[in-house]
Amino acid sequence: MFDERTKAELAELVRQGRISVAVSILEKMASVTDKEASRYAEWAREELKRVQALPKKVKDAAPQLLATALRDEPVVAPCGSRSQSAIAISATPISA
């Protein structure tokens, strides 16, 4: 029925931002009354609370994230090359 693989798949859905899909699955898991699945149902109820709160946390953090993004300070971003571990990005527009 439910196993550790299911938990991992749900975590991946959340990581991808597919919150409504994860919530739907968690609601189904949380409603299971089978004795063998009681541990997963309990986990699902707790996880459901956490996942349902994520959109509000993102919304609440948005103004601070936007302010940080608009600062004219270099931001270190990872680079795909092994010879270059990071690159600095500035918010200052480049004029021609």
Encode pLDDT of 9-60 as tens digits.
999 999 898 999 999 999 999 999 988 888 888 999 999 999 998 888 777 8
In the chain, domain spans: 4-70
Three-state secondary structure along 19-77? HHHHHHHHHHHHCCCCHHHHHHHHHHHHHHHHHHHHHHHHHHHHHHHHHHHHCCCCEEE
Indicate the pLDDT class of residue 63, thresholds 50, 70 and 90: confident
Cα dihedral 5, 7, 13, 14 in deg (nearest 10)? -150
pTM for this prediction: 0.57
Indicate the pLDDT class of residue 81, thresholds 50, 70 and 90: very low
